[in-house]
Structure 1
């Protein structure tokens, strides 16, 4: 999975970068820039809801650290899922291998003994 897909804000709208969204949420953009961001975000209900949810934070200064934590958690969870999807490791106990080998030797030896006995 690409790193950009694991960044929460970067996927809201490809035309707006994360820094601009953070500045918008912290109220650091001019009125014209705010209007442009709102106009671009209104086209998609999901983006609008996400922006509305982020606007609900009481301490806008901590928003950057909250987003960093969300991105970190998202990366960790996707990494865990990726590891689970990999090939499962087979751990075979050495005693099982020895037992199977002994049984195979006994079966093969028995076959040859029975085969020789039946030919005479």
Structure 2
């Protein structure tokens, strides 16, 4: 499960986009002029990041954003874990069902074999 945590820790890492923290720092004006320029250059080519910055810019209480991001990340992780557990439970029932069906067919075959062998 730690791999999943690392994978979802920062969704932008695998895309070559600025990190969530860099985007937040950009919106809050905490980047150096060079870093700000790099982010702005990226924003011209990346619709995802542009929309993320637009959404972050619309929030009035920017100091609360890191807490909200963390809360959303944990909520997403809980939902993914729950979905994974549910999927695992249903996957465990499939082999058991196949085994039970095979046993039933075997018993029926033995019954019919015995029945035809004794009633000639």
TM-score bin (small chain): 0.5 to 0.7
CA offsets 1:19-58 (integer angstroms, 9 cap, x no match)? 3222222222244432332222121222211211111111
Q: Is the 8 A contact 1:8 1:71 kept in 2?
A: no
Say whether 1:110 aligns with 2:115. Answer: yes
Unpaired segments of 5 or more residues in structure 2?
none
Unpaired segments of 5 or more residues in structure 1?
none
- Of the two, which has the highest radius of gyration? 1
For the structure 1 residues 12 and 108, does the alpha-carbon distance in structure 2 shift closer, same or farther, using more than 3 Å as the test? closer
Aligned length in residues: 111
Deviation, 1:85, is 5.5
Q: Compare 67-76 and 38-47 and name the one that shifted more.
A: 67-76
Higher relative contact order, chain-length normalized (CA < 8 Å, sep 6+)? 1
Aligned counterpart, 1:49: 51
TM-score by length of structure 1 reads: 0.62
